[in-house]
Amino acid sequence: MPRVPFVLQPGVPLVVGSFGDSKSLASIPLDLVHSSCDLVEIRLDLLDSESISSEDRPWHRFAGMPLLFTARRASEGGAGELDAEARMAMIRSVIEDASLVDIEVASISEMQPVIDDLKKAGVPWIGSFHDFFQVPATDLLSAKRMAARNAGAAAFKAAVELGWEMDQLAPLARFVQKSSDYPVSLMGMGPLAPVSRVLFAQLGSVLNYGYLGDTPTAPGQWSAKQLKEAIEGSRKA
């Protein structure tokens, strides 16, 4: 399957459709995928190992769409206790199909060998950060963004638990707005996730995640289709 080249542009909001289970990945109607998102995230840590390693790889159904691969570490919401070696092996096995790869900022040093492989193959990667409990200080987010940028990531992405902390929305919104010289993707999780995702996309968050199929991959996610419609609606307002 030829890789689809992919370039992120600061301030241009795209929708990522994310699969949380193997059954949805294998059975979702293709036209629904095409109409719901701009790129597809394959969460390698959430799928059955047989479906990932089968010769007939389930994501080959989406030929022509950019594919983002993620093998999430457990401490940032990944399923299973996959160590860096296991996650690197997963990523190496999909490099030929990948338009983009997600690597946590916390994993950069231990996963440097696979980052070097991505560089050689000309595959961009995003440096990510997840906090499932709170909104971290903006200074911490800025430090993570700098670490991602310095390590060569094409973008920085963060997902943080908002709870009902409405006061936290404004500083996060400013964080996205101020990042006009480097692509940033930001999203809330929890009860304010839906509203935060539309707001941050409106302000230029580059990758905005919703789920494809039956299983959300984060608390409070919209379906990719709903998110795409909401973002398109907000851009017309």
- Identify any residues that bridge with 43 across adjacent strands, giving them in sequence order: 70
Q: Strand ranges (DSSP E) for 12-85?
A: 14-19, 39-43, 67-70
Under rule CB under 6 A, residue 228 binds ligand DQA:
no
- Are 171 and 141 in contact by the 8 Å Cβ rule? The answer is no
- φ, ψ at 137 (rounded to 5°): -60, 145
Comparing CB distances to ligand DQA, the nearer of 115 and 159 is: 159
- Piece in contact with ligand DQA (CB under 6 A), picked from 2-10, 85-93, 174-182, 216-224: 216-224
The answer to whether residue 107 forms part of the interface with ligand DQA (CB under 6 A) is no
Among 21, 38, 41, 161, binds ligand DQA (CB under 6 A): 41
Binding to ligand DQA by CB under 6 A, coded x per residue (else -) over 163-202, reads ------------------------x-x-------------
Give the residue with the Cβ less far from ligand DQA, 202 or 217.
217
Q: In what order do the strands lie in the sheet with 125-131?
A: 184-189, 155-161, 125-131, 100-104, 67-70, 39-43, 14-19, 207-212
Enumerate residues 48-67 that contact ligand DQA by CB under 6 A: none
Report the distance separating Cα 125 and Cα 114, nearest Å.
11
DSSP, collapsed to helix, strand or coil, labels residue 150 as helix
Find the part of the chain contacting ligand DQA (CB under 6 A) among 106-114, 140-148, 169-177, 217-225. 217-225
Q: Of 2 and 102, which has the nearer Cβ to ligand DQA? A: 102
Q: Which is nearer to ligand DQA, 77 or 115 (CB)?
A: 77
C-alpha dist (Å) from residue 206 to 11, 16, 60, 88: 6, 10, 25, 25
Binding ligand DQA (rule: CB under 6 A), the pick from 21, 45, 97, 102 is: 102
User: At closest approach, how far in Å is the CB of 131 from ligand DQA?
Assistant: 10
If one asks whether residue 217 binds ligand DQA (CB under 6 A), the answer comes out as yes
Check residue 159 for interaction with ligand DQA (CB under 6 A). yes
Sign of the four-CA dihedral 138, 139, 142, 147: negative
CB 74 within 8 A of CB 81: yes
Question: Residue 212 interacts with ligand DQA (CB under 6 A)?
Answer: no
Show the tokens assigned to 122. Answer: 């000309």
Query: Of all residues in this chain, which one has the CB nearest to ligand DQA in the complex?
Result: 218
Helical residues (DSSP H) of the chain, grouped into ranges: 22-27, 30-36, 49-53, 84-92, 112-121, 138-150, 169-177, 193-202, 224-236
Minimum CB distance to ligand DQA smaller for 18 or for 99: 18
Q: Which residues bind ligand DQA (CB under 6 A)?
A: 18, 41, 43, 70, 102, 128, 130, 159, 187, 189, 209, 217-218, 221
